Amino acid sequence: MNTTPIRHSGLQKAVLSLYRSFLRVSNKKEMDNPSSSISNYIKTQFRLKATTIQKRDINKIESLLVKGKRQLEQIQDPEFSGFAVFTPKSK
């Protein structure tokens, strides 16, 4: 049995850290508003990106990290109460 821990790259650690930060903030927000589904949305988005973006596409991952950090700052704002998701119709 292999007991050596998995070694993550710096980029992987940054993504995992951002994910955990999002979940912590969403749990706090959901305590204020139990009907909110922020954590479900966050989990869905991270899983979707994990399956659609290639692990070798470092530029895309880094740009999404920057975007994610901005979004995290927005939901950490005490005035933040929720969000709306708009999905365009397929033709």
Q: Give tens-digit pLDDT for 48-74.
A: 999 999 989 999 999 999 999 999 999
Please choose, from the candidates 70, 68, 85, the residue with its C-alpha nearest in 3D space to the C-alpha of residue 14: 68
Range of the domain at 65: 10-76
In a domain, 35, yes or no: yes
CA angle, residues 5, 45, 33, in degrees to nearest 5: 105
Torsion-angle region of 82 (φ positive above 0: left; ψ -120 to 50: alpha; else: beta): left
Q: What is the pLDDT of residue 34?
A: 62
In a domain, 29, yes or no: yes
Q: Give tens-digit pLDDT for 31-46.
A: 766 656 788 889 999 9
What is the b/e burial string over 63-79, where b = at least 16 CB atoms within 10 angstroms of the residue's CB? ebeeebeeebeebeeee
Overall number of domains in the chain: 1
